[in-house]
Structure 1
Amino acid sequence: MSYDKTKQEQLRKETAETNFHYQRFLLLRYLLAIFFFANLYWALASFLSGGYLALMISVLLLVVCGFAVSEHVKLYGDKSDQVELKLYFNRYYHLFQTMVNACLFLIAVTDLGFNQMFPFLIDSFQTRLFIIGIVLLGSGLSWICLRRIRRISQKKDKQYQYIKDYKRSIS
């Protein structure tokens, strides 16, 4: 009976530690999901309206996002503190998303290619303001993710401190 309790307690501690490590990436996972679905909707709308340039760009974003998602799947159960290389595609995805957003911002501000990138929208001042707002929001979220990735790589995130405190408390 005592052996089972000891084994259960050890399993509980290991599970807690695994979850602490995986929670370091919680914000990155949720924002990646938001970007995935935003780009998926953009791809579907572009496909249905015949905007093939926008379709190619959105599909490329989805592919790179898929690689970033696969990194998160691999991170579950990984208790290593060396995550620099494990967030490789996440970093490049958010850099790529930011570059695309910068181009979309220029397209929304100028008259260059708006109908090719957003063939499913009516070209009006209100639509352009909406696109500018969405693009700025997306750029801000990507910047937050890049900052978070840097903090995790440098072990300066709060969750890392929680992990260290937890390890000290169970020792």
Structure 2
Amino acid sequence: MKNSKPVTNEAKQKVAQNSMRFNRFLVFRYITALFFFLNLYWSILSIAYWTIAGLIPIILMIMDAVILVEQTQKYWQQSNRLRVTKIGFWIQSAVNLVGMLFALIGQPQIIVPFMNQTGRWLLVGLFTLGLLICGYVQRKIWLIEHDQDKYLTYLKAFEGMGGK
């Protein structure tokens, strides 16, 4: 039989607090995963019509992976700084804006080679939705970095109660 120490209430509180602090960034992990899979789909479809623009979703997927690494580190590094996440979502915003502009001027195939004129309004809608999501993420980043997010209020209340 192993000699195991009983888990103390203090250790349970520490784990609960770490988990709650980690969950403060949960929305970023979900949205990054969404963009990762959308970019993966975009890159797979672009392979058949390979152009230099096909590198865009691949670069975005690499960037998404780097964002996920930063987010995973938040479990051990209790910081509200989100430098990589912020830069990554600015880049994603820029790509969405450029894609929307190309679709609006009637040249969607420049950035999305598997689409033609008939799908241009679908692309405008998708790129606009992507811009809105990126704007939401940037707002959440700003709130967290300035300690003005609602989740921090809940976390402080939890810690004030002794983590119970």
TM-score (norm 2): 0.90
More helix per residue: 1 or 2? Answer: 1
Query: In angstroms, what is the RMSD of aligned CA positions?
Result: 1.6
Q: Please give the alpha-carbon distance, in whole angstroms, between the structure 2 residues aligned to 1:115 and 1:136.
A: 17
Distance in 2 between residues matched to 1:131 and 1:50, nearest whole Å: 17
The count of corresponding residues between Structure 1 and Structure 2 is: 159
Deviation string 1:28-70 (CA, Å, 9 cap, x unpaired) is 11001000111111011101x2232221111111121111111
User: What CA distance in whole angstroms lies between the structure 2 residues aligned with 1:160 and 1:111?
Assistant: 45
Q: Which runs of 5+ in 2 are unaligned?
A: none
5+ long unaligned stretches in structure 1? none
**Match for residue 67 of structure 1?**
66
Q: Higher relative contact order at CA 8 Å, sep ≥6: structure 1 or structure 2?
A: 1
Q: Which residue matches 1:170?
A: 162
* Contact in 2 for aligned 1:51/1:116 (Cα 8 Å): no
Equivalent position amino acid for 1:123 in 2: Q
User: Which residue of structure 1 lines up, in the alignment, with residue 21 of structure 2?
Assistant: 21
User: What percentage of residue pairs aligned between the two structures are identical?
Assistant: 25
Structure 1 segments of 4+ aligned residues over 3 angstroms from their partners: none
Pick from 105, 112, 118 the counterpart of residue 118 of structure 1. Answer: 112
Distance between the aligned counterparts of 1:54 and 1:33, measured in 2?
22
* Aligned match of 2:101: 106
The alpha carbon displacement at 1:120 in A equals 1.8
Note if 1:161 corresponds to 2:160. no
